[in-house]
Chains A and B, each alone.
Chain A
Amino acid sequence: MISFLFFLGFLVFYGLIAIYAERKISAFIQDRYGPMEVGYKGLLQTFADILKLLQKEHIFTFAADKPLFAIAPTIIFVAMFAAFAVIPLSVNITGSTVATGVYYAIAIVSLDILGILMAGWGSNNKYAIIGAYRSVAQIVSYEIPLGLAVLGVIMMSGTLDLQEISMQQSIFYESATKNTESYLFGLKFLGINVGKYGGILSWNIFRMPPLIIGFVIFFITSLAESNRAPFDLPEAESELIAGFHTEYSGFRFAIIMLAEYGVMLLTSFLAVVLFLGSWSTPLPNIGALKLAEWTSGTPGSISADLWGIFWLCLKAMTLVLCQIWIRWTFPRLRVDQLMNLGWKYLTPAALIIIFIVGLWKLALL
Chain B
Amino acid sequence: MKRKGANNTYFGNITEAFDTLITGLKTTWKHIPLARKKRSLENVDSEKYFEKQEGLFTVQYPRFEMPVPEKGRYQLHNEIEDCIVCDKCAKVCPVDCIDIEPVKATEEIGKTSDGTPKRIHAAKFDIDMAKCCFCGLCTTVCPTECLTMSQDYDYSTFDITDHNFPFSKMTEKEISDAKADLEKAMEEKAAMAREKAESRATSESSEKSADSTKPKAAKPKFIPRPMKKKKEGNNDDNKKEDK
Q: Taking beta carbons and an 8 Å cutoff, which residues of A are in contact with B?
A: 25, 27-33, 36, 325-326, 328-330, 345
Known: A330-B21, A345-B14. A29 touches B58 (CB 8 A): no
A325 with B28: CB separation less than 8 A: yes
B residues within 8 A CB of A28? 31-32, 34-35, 56
Give the nearest-CB partner of A331 in chain B: B24
Among A33, A36, A328, the residue within 8 A (CB) of B28 is A328
Among A29, A36, A330, the residue within 8 A (CB) of B31 is A29
A329 with B28: CB separation less than 8 A: yes
Q: Top 9 nearest A-B pairs by Cβ distance?
A: A28-B35, A31-B57, A329-B28, A29-B28, A28-B32, A329-B24, A33-B58, A29-B31, A32-B58
Tell me the residues in window 8-34 of chain B with beta carbons closer than 8 Å to chain A beta carbons.
13-14, 21, 24-25, 27-29, 31-32, 34
Most buried by B among A31, A328, A345: A31
Rounded to whole angstroms, the CA-CA distance of A32 and B27 in the bound complex is 16
B102 within 8 A of A: no
A residues within 8 A CB of B34? 28, 31
Rounded to whole angstroms, the CA-CA distance of A25 and B25 in the bound complex is 13
Give the nearest-CB partner of A330 in chain B: B24
A residues within 8 A CB of B27? 329
Among B25, B29, B55, B60, the residue within 8 A (CB) of A31 is B55
In whole Å, how far is A305's beta carbon from the nearest beta carbon of chain B?
Answer: 33
A residues within 8 A CB of B57? 31-32
Known: A328-B28, A330-B21. A33 touches B14 (CB 8 A): no
Most buried by A among B24, B31, B60: B31
Chief secondary structure at chain B's binding surface? helix
**A–B pairs, 24, beta carbons within 8 Å:** A27-B35, A28-B31, A28-B32, A28-B34, A28-B35, A28-B56, A29-B28, A30-B31, A31-B31, A31-B34, A31-B35, A31-B55, A31-B56, A31-B57, A32-B56, A32-B58, A33-B60, A325-B25, A325-B28, A328-B28, A329-B24, A329-B25, A329-B28, A330-B21
Rounded to whole angstroms, the CA-CA distance of A365 and B75 in the bound complex is 82
In whole Å, how far is A27's beta carbon from the nearest beta carbon of chain B?
Answer: 8
Rounded to whole angstroms, the CA-CA distance of A25 and B139 in the bound complex is 48
A36 with B35: CB separation less than 8 A: no
Rounded to whole angstroms, the CA-CA distance of A330 and B57 in the bound complex is 21
Known: A25-B32, A325-B28. A31 touches B58 (CB 8 A): yes
A residues within 8 A CB of B14? 345
B60 with A36: CB separation less than 8 A: yes
In whole Å, how far is B107's beta carbon from the nearest beta carbon of chain A?
Answer: 59
Q: Taking beta carbons and an 8 Å cutoff, which residues of B are in contact with A?
A: 13-14, 21, 24-25, 27-29, 31-32, 34-35, 55-58, 60
In whole Å, how far is B11's beta carbon from the nearest beta carbon of chain A?
Answer: 10
Rounded to whole angstroms, the CA-CA distance of A307 and B79 in the bound complex is 73
Rounded to whole angstroms, the CA-CA distance of A27 and B34 in the bound complex is 12
In whole Å, how far is A103's beta carbon from the nearest beta carbon of chain B?
Answer: 30
In whole Å, how far is A255's beta carbon from the nearest beta carbon of chain B?
Answer: 30
In whole Å, how far is A325's beta carbon from the nearest beta carbon of chain B?
Answer: 7
Rounded to whole angstroms, the CA-CA distance of A27 and B57 in the bound complex is 10
Rounded to whole angstroms, the CA-CA distance of A330 and B14 in the bound complex is 16
B29 with A325: CB separation less than 8 A: yes
Give the nearest-CB partner of B59 in chain A: A33
Rounded to whole angstroms, the CA-CA distance of A33 and B61 in the bound complex is 12
Rounded to whole angstroms, the CA-CA distance of A304 and B60 in the bound complex is 47
In whole Å, how far is A161's beta carbon from the nearest beta carbon of chain B?
Answer: 34
B residues within 8 A CB of A345? 13-14
Rounded to whole angstroms, the CA-CA distance of A263 and B24 in the bound complex is 25
Rounded to whole angstroms, the CA-CA distance of A32 and B34 in the bound complex is 11
Rounded to whole angstroms, the CA-CA distance of A325 and B14 in the bound complex is 21
B residues within 8 A CB of A328? 28
In whole Å, how far is B19's beta carbon from the nearest beta carbon of chain A?
Answer: 14
In whole Å, how far is A110's beta carbon from the nearest beta carbon of chain B?
Answer: 26
In whole Å, how far is B232's beta carbon from the nearest beta carbon of chain A?
Answer: 76
Rounded to whole angstroms, the CA-CA distance of A345 and B57 in the bound complex is 40
Rounded to whole angstroms, the CA-CA distance of A30 and B28 in the bound complex is 8
Rounded to whole angstroms, the CA-CA distance of A32 and B14 in the bound complex is 33
In whole Å, how far is A348's beta carbon from the nearest beta carbon of chain B?
Answer: 9
Known: A36-B60, A345-B14. A29 touches B24 (CB 8 A): no
Rounded to whole angstroms, the CA-CA distance of A27 and B56 in the bound complex is 9
B residues within 8 A CB of A326? 25
A residues within 8 A CB of B35? 27-28, 31
Give the nearest-CB partner of A328 in chain B: B28
Rounded to whole angstroms, the CA-CA distance of A345 and B21 in the bound complex is 16
B residues within 8 A CB of A330? 21, 24
B residues within 8 A CB of A25? 32
A residues within 8 A CB of B13? 345
In whole Å, how far is B13's beta carbon from the nearest beta carbon of chain A?
Answer: 8
B residues within 8 A CB of A27? 35
Rounded to whole angstroms, the CA-CA distance of A27 and B58 in the bound complex is 10
Rounded to whole angstroms, the CA-CA distance of A325 and B60 in the bound complex is 25
In whole Å, how far is B239's beta carbon from the nearest beta carbon of chain A?
Answer: 75
- In the complex, besides A32-B56, A325-B29, A328-B28, 13 extra interface pairs with C-beta distance below 8 angstroms are A28-B31, A28-B32, A29-B28, A31-B31, A31-B55, A31-B56, A31-B58, A32-B57, A33-B56, A329-B28, A330-B21, A330-B24, A345-B13
In whole Å, how far is A212's beta carbon from the nearest beta carbon of chain B?
Answer: 13
